[in-house]
Chains A and B, each alone.
Chain A
Amino acid sequence: AQSVSQHNHHVILSEAASLELGCNYSYGGTVNLFWYVQYPGQHLQLLLKYFSGDPLVKGIKGFEAEFIKSKFSFNLRKPSVQWSDTAEYFCAVNGGGATNKLIFGTGTLLAVQP
């Protein structure tokens, strides 16, 4: 069965610090990978996605993620965080197939201090 692990449950950073959130998945086949973000009081929004091609994908608001197939990883990065990046971040995977259902990690709560 597919599973997703997010190693950091709660991260606190100062503004302008660099961010890297870890995500590892377990699935041996072709995968599609996502990072979703949930800002306080808002619904889940797609940050970025990887389906195929260049393993370094860029998303909204300066975020990027790198798919490393050999490490089963899809870590999220941002070189300089802002207070407005305070949110919960979810990594998700699906294995394609018939339903495309998403398997989510447990989420990482990021707090950026001004």
Chain B
Amino acid sequence: GAGVSQSPSNKVTEKGKDVELRCDPISGHTALYWYRQSLGQGLEFLIYFQGNSAPDKSGLPSDRFSAERTGGSVSTLTIQRTQQEDSAVYLCASSHRITIGGAYEQYFGPGTRLTVT
């Protein structure tokens, strides 16, 4: 079946502008994650959604970052007033529902490469 898809694949924006990044998870996956991959920082967790539970926002680097997930499927990551240090590849991943004591592998999308000029 189809994998995780993300759009756009590349985004160039000027410093101070807002950007929205989109993620379509694998159908049937209820858990959705955002990560960021940047030089010097490696891969960092940003935010996690599962079903109607409150998201885990513990990885968001500042209040300029927010994310939502509508209808339990598509998710949008928004970065307001972008800064040059926001330049990175933003990765989305999805997995089956997480249960206490359980674990499922995460499937990653191709990412959105964000460049802030």
Please report A residues at the B interface, Cβ cutoff 8 Å.
32, 34, 36, 42-46, 49, 51, 90, 92, 94, 96-107
Assess the A103–B45 pair: CB atoms within 8 A: yes
* B90 lies within 8 A of chain A by Cβ: no
Assess the A101–B95 pair: CB atoms within 8 A: no
CB distance from B61 to the nearest CB of A (A): 15
Which residues of chain B have C-beta atoms less than 8 A from A100's C-beta?
Answer: 31, 48, 95, 98, 103-104, 106
Give the distance in Å from the alpha carbon of A44 to the alpha carbon of B45 in the complex: 14
CB distance from A90 to the nearest CB of B (A): 7
A-B contact pairs, 25 of them (CB 8 A): A36-B108, A42-B110, A43-B109, A43-B111, A45-B108, A46-B107, A51-B103, A94-B103, A96-B100, A97-B100, A98-B98, A98-B100, A99-B48, A100-B31, A100-B95, A100-B98, A100-B103, A100-B104, A101-B45, A101-B48, A101-B59, A102-B106, A104-B35, A104-B43, A104-B44
CB distance from B8 to the nearest CB of A (A): 15
Assess the A44–B108 pair: CB atoms within 8 A: yes
* B56 lies within 8 A of chain A by Cβ: yes
* B105 lies within 8 A of chain A by Cβ: yes
Which residues of chain B have C-beta atoms less than 8 A from A96's C-beta?
Answer: 100-103
Assess the B56–A98 pair: CB atoms within 8 A: yes
Complex partner residue of B105 from A34, A98, A101, CB under 8 angstroms? A34
Give the distance in Å from the alpha carbon of A103 to the alpha carbon of B45 in the complex: 7
Q: Which of B41-59 contact A (CB under 8 A)?
A: 42-45, 48, 50, 56, 59
Give the distance in Å from the alpha carbon of A96 to the alpha carbon of B48 in the complex: 13
Assess the B108–A99 pair: CB atoms within 8 A: no
* B114 lies within 8 A of chain A by Cβ: no
Which residues of chain B have C-beta atoms less than 8 A from A103's C-beta?
Answer: 45
Give the distance in Å from the alpha carbon of A32 to the alpha carbon of B56 in the complex: 19
